[in-house]
Amino acid sequence: MSGPQAHPFRLDGKIAVITGAASGIGRAIAQRFAQQGAAVRILDLDDKAADAAAQELVRAGCDAQAFACDVSDQSSAKDVFGKLSRQGRLDILVNNAGVSHIGTVETTTEADFDRLFRINVKGVYNCTYAAIGSMKSQGGGVILNMASIAGTAALADRFAYSMSKGAVVAMTYSVAKDYLAHKIRCNCISPARVHTPFVDGYLRKNYPGHEQEMFQKLAASQPIGRMGQPAEVASLALFLCSDEAAFITGSDYPLDGGFFHLR
């Protein structure tokens, strides 16, 4: 047997850039892509954590490098992607970097709103803007954006976060439409609650002494009865960025344990 089906979901020879990849979902995606043969470039604001994530992969025999990048700053993004383009191709971009926020419109300050927009929305724009030229010139590529079920479903106390992730979904559709002729695919994943370090930090801060009780309550709020795992998001990301998904573009994939339709 020959061709892509002989070794499905392999990323051999591809260079994948993942933002916010020093921890959580981004790190899981970097690990999965590296295991499947990609050369991964880990971008994160925390340069020490990014370097630690890259070195872990290098010790496992993978091709990985770390770059400090503030995705909310276009000059920082352009500088890093300029370095990457001089290294070679840019086959895959995963716009994963983002922050969360809890609050209604009344409890969201202007500073809160600006921060969410700057990182979650402008960050996706900045990195896509910095990468798209290389993908065009090389004849194609894949962009995967990390959205959220909050972008398309009503969640209580997530006003600014929902706004930002709704914008990510809209940008996904727009980029997919505009770059069809350039063979650049663009999709997004919309997870429900995923067990990441953010969840643990949120519980420690807001429910000291009752972390486990609240964890179980949050997990049970999803129809499937538990939170998602970063590795599960990484599995879907791998499929969407692989050649097996070559017919898929302009799609938003819920990864939500039944949240959207089964609540």
Task: State the DSSP H helix or E strand holding residue 169, giving kind and residue range, or none if neither.
Answer: helix 159-178
Contacts of 145 (CB under 8 A, 6+ apart): 94, 95, 124, 168, 169, 171, 172, 186, 187, 188, 189
CA 242 vs CA 63, 92, 194, 247: distances in Å: 18, 9, 23, 11
Give backbone dihedrals phi and psi of 143, rounded to 5 degrees, phi first. -120, 130
Catalytic hit among 125, 161, 173, 253: 161
Structure tokens given for 13: 């020879």
E runs forming strands in the chain: 15-19, 39-44, 64-68, 92-95, 141-146, 184-191, 252-255
**Does residue 161 have an active-site annotation?**
yes
CA 154 vs CA 117, 149, 169: distances in Å: 18, 9, 15
Query: Which residues are registered as beta bridge partners of 184?
Result: 141
End-to-end CA, the chain? 44
| Residues belonging to the active site | 161
